[in-house]
A and B are shown apart, each in its own frame.
Chain A
Amino acid sequence: MSALVRFVDAGLEGLDIILDRFHRRQGVIGALLLSPSLIILGVFAFFPLLYAIYISLFDTRRGIYNGAGNYLRAFNEPEFWRSVKVTFYYAIGTVPLSLAISFTIAWLLFRIVFARSFFRTLYFLPYVTSAVASATVWRALLRPQSGLINLLLINIGIEPQKWLIEPRGVLNILTDGMIPPAIGPSLALCCIIAFDIWHASGFMIVVFLAGLSSIPKQLEEGARLDGASTWQVIRHVSLPLLSPTIFFLLIVSAIKSFQSFNSFYALVSAPGDDTQNLIVYIYAQFYQNQRIGYGAAVAVLMCAAIVLLTIVQWRFVGRKVHYE
């Protein structure tokens, strides 16, 4: 019996030693396990980022070191600032509206019983459709001379619009010229915003639906028993409990709004001052004007702006998020 006890003790001691060694080597094993993703991130994310910073310091066409020249040029370039303005109009137009519309649709989809799966699929469809393909359809619909939208407007007695080629501000059009045409987003930009809300809302709806499903039903029932109206339930129960979801979507959609390219490029084949966001501007510098160093400098500035925006959101909005 005692031999058995000694044997078990020895076994346990041996196991302790192995576990001890394993713990000491955990760091090495962890690093090994992380290395594939670190390599991929290094090659496809960190290296390009560092290389972009490096080439932003050069006049790449002439191979001349340019110091802060490209950055200074950006700050003195009216076209750069116009692109910044378009980017902000776009972000302000898409992010809050997408969130509000997606939440509303998700809330309704969560409640309906009739053909629930059908409607959920229907709303998710735009997201899985190719942006370029759907943009082509939108372009056809919005053609000034032969587009379906203008034909409908003419039929109901409304003046047809130039839609995607209208650089005048939408406020100017709505107020019949009382507000100067350069104020506010152009009608063309509003069309792009509408397209992106339509295209991206499917993803947000699915995330909101997942968030709504995780809210315990008792909370809503309790609120109802206490006499809360639908709006009060949404305001005081659903929205606070969805705040992590909203925060996640806010961060992701804000970043995506700064990086939007497909819709701009596919909807407006020759972007004007009113439809050229920062990414399209960077693209033009790289591939149309061959100002690669300058384009990289603008890209670095944009990256810094996104990081700053995310930190601000994290600091100010993140505090109001309820994590259970």
Chain B
Amino acid sequence: MVRVSLACAAVLALVVSCTPRDVPAQDSATPSSSTAKTFKPIDPTSAVCWDRNTLETAKLLDSIATEYNATQPPVPIKLEYLGNYGDIFRKVSLSIQARELPATAVGYEPMTSEYIVAGAALPLDDYIADPSAGLKADELADFYPSVLETNKFPQFENRMYSFPFCKSVLMMYYNKRVLREAGFDAPPQTWDEFLAQCRAIKSKTGKQAYAINVDCSTIEGFIYSMGGEVVNGSVSTFDQPNVLAAFKLFDTLVKEGLAYQAPPGTYDDREAFAHDRTAFFFRPSSHRPDAAALMAATPDDWGMTRIPQSDPNNPRTALYGPNICVFRTTDAHQKAAWGFIKHFTSPKVSVRWAIATGYLPIRKSAANDPDMQAFWEKWPQDRAAFDCLAFGKSQPNVVGWQQVRTLVERALTAVISGLKTPEQATADLKKEADKALAAG
């Protein structure tokens, strides 16, 4: 038995100690056309699209797909709803291992970068430039640059591996009743005003002003609005003063009892807001319908505005919302998927989608659409969010950011729990994030 164990250990040691070398790989770090079409479509007869919408929005998306299918694409689009973005990412990743993929799936930038590394994502540049099936220059110019830029991946020849799908921006929701109790009739415009209002709310009402939802994109939004960045090329910038300022703000809020952490994965921040226990919460603009439902009894007692800024003349916020990625399957599936994306992002459909879901229309021309204008009259908050699209900034689309997101959230948790000072947390975060980004 001992001999067998020793022999096994020796063989294992021999295998693992071999110098790493390339073997004939099915994938490469920068996929080229030579790696195209190596994945089987999960359904040969239809172009499956994995999405996260449910209930009414899923029905609407189905009807949009039905309209598109009426145009006789090479294969019809079939929508499948798989849970949240994380679930879709997991399923796509496993399907990559199984060499069998849907035609298209929604996801965030760091997810797409993982698909690119695995050789599964198809660059869309050729489709976009196609004279008949693509987008003309004026059509492309109708998209906000911020929503297009985030789909170009600098680590992969700046090619466009995904296309904007549903967009929203980080907004500040404010409870007018609580603000009035504290003597304010308008929400804060700058971070200094925000802190001052939080202190006043605490002293005058005894309430905590804000329930912190620890989420990487929200933290990024705070950093952007303070003039900071989170990445430069493929190196993180968590050692920058603006990043430290954002972490210090959270530290101050918690230490002075002005804010508390909402349990992750819950909507306790929204619930506390609706019950007048807090004055603010920060979530994407797509939460507006939920906030409206929570405040349905007193619809005039709340608002949604852009997040406070360090420099209100040069505003910035986080751009949220998934993009859509086409996978390397068959020509017919790819064409059908691209056709569906083009149809979905067309001005009329984009407006229809925005009105029904609370997402933002991603075309500039939507601002002139009568239906959209009528909707904004009813929901001026959505117009405020739409105006933020011009300066919204998406999360970095570099390989490894998916891991960095967790590190950022843990760093903030450490600060608001008093485990680390903002200086320690950002210094450690910088080290660990750079390591994760370097490992790719």
Contact = CB atoms under 8 A, between A and B. Distances in A.
A145 B406 contact: no
B400 to A, nearest CB: 8
A53 B418 CA distance: 40
A140 to B, nearest CB: 10
Nearest to B399: A61
B28 interface: yes
Contacts of A166: 417
Contacts of A73: 439
B6 interface: no
B403 interface: yes
Interface stretch (A18-26, A285-293, A316-324): A285-293
Given A143-B268, A182-B419, A290 B12 contact: no
A144 B263 contact: yes
Given A63-B27, A73-B439, A145-B268, A164 B19 contact: no
A290 B96 CA distance: 11
B27 A290 contact: no
B419 A168 contact: yes
A57 B263 contact: no
Contacts of B272: 145
B23 interface: yes
B432 interface: yes
B15 interface: yes
Contact of A67 (B20, B86, B261, B409): B20
B22 A64 contact: yes
Given A69-B20, A290-B93, A145 B260 contact: yes
Interface stretch (A36-44, A91-99, A194-202, A269-277): A269-277
A273 B410 CA distance: 7
B260 A68 contact: no
Given A61-B117, A167-B413, A289 B22 contact: no
A6 interface: no
B290 to A, nearest CB: 19
Question: Which residue of A53, A164, A289 has the most chain B CB atoms within 10 A of its CB atom?
Answer: A289
A289 B262 CA distance: 25
Interface in B1-47: 12, 15-23, 25-29
B255 interface: no
Contacts of A292: 97
Contacts, number: 103
Contacts of B410: 272-273
A290 B417 CA distance: 29
B406 A167 contact: no
Interface residues of B, number: 47
A145 B264 CA distance: 13
B18 A67 contact: yes
Given A68-B16, A73-B439, A290-B402, A168 B418 contact: yes
Nearest to B413: A272
B268 A284 contact: no
B263 A288 contact: no
Given A64-B25, A165-B261, A165-B263, A181 B418 contact: yes
B382 interface: no
B97 A164 contact: no
A284 B413 CA distance: 18
Contacts of A145: 211, 260, 262, 268, 272, 277
Interface footprint category on A = 35 or more
A57 B20 CA distance: 9
A120 interface: no
Question: Which residue of A63, A144, A268, A269 has the most chain B CB atoms within 10 A of its CB atom?
Answer: A63
A46 interface: no
B403 A289 contact: yes
B245 interface: no
A160 B263 CA distance: 15
Question: Which residue of B20, B266, B419 has the most chain A CB atoms within 10 A of its CB atom?
Answer: B419
A92 B432 CA distance: 29
Contacts of B18: 65, 67
B218 to A, nearest CB: 13
A66 B114 CA distance: 18
B90 interface: yes
A69 B20 CA distance: 8
Interface string B271-301: 0100001000000000000000000000000
Contact of B264 (A60, A64, A143, A165): A165
B265 A269 contact: yes
Given A57-B15, A143-B263, A165-B263, A62 B406 contact: no
A284 B272 CA distance: 31
A279 B416 CA distance: 26
B28 A62 contact: yes
Given A64-B23, A290-B93, 7 more contacts: A65-B21, A145-B277, A165-B417, A167-B413, A168-B417, A273-B410, A292-B97
Which are the 6 A-B pairs with shortest beta-carbon distances?
A: A269-B265, A63-B25, A270-B264, A68-B16, A287-B90, A67-B20
17 contacts: A57-B16, A60-B97, A61-B114, A64-B20, A68-B16, A68-B17, A73-B439, A139-B263, A181-B418, A268-B264, A269-B264, A270-B264, A270-B265, A272-B410, A273-B414, A289-B403, A292-B97
Interface of A: 53, 57, 60-69, 71, 73, 78-79, 139, 143-146, 162, 164-168, 181-182, 268-270, 272-273, 284, 287-290, 292
Interface of B: 12, 15-23, 25-29, 86, 89-90, 93, 97, 114, 117-118, 211, 214, 260-266, 268, 272, 277, 402-403, 406, 409-410, 413-414, 417-419, 432, 439
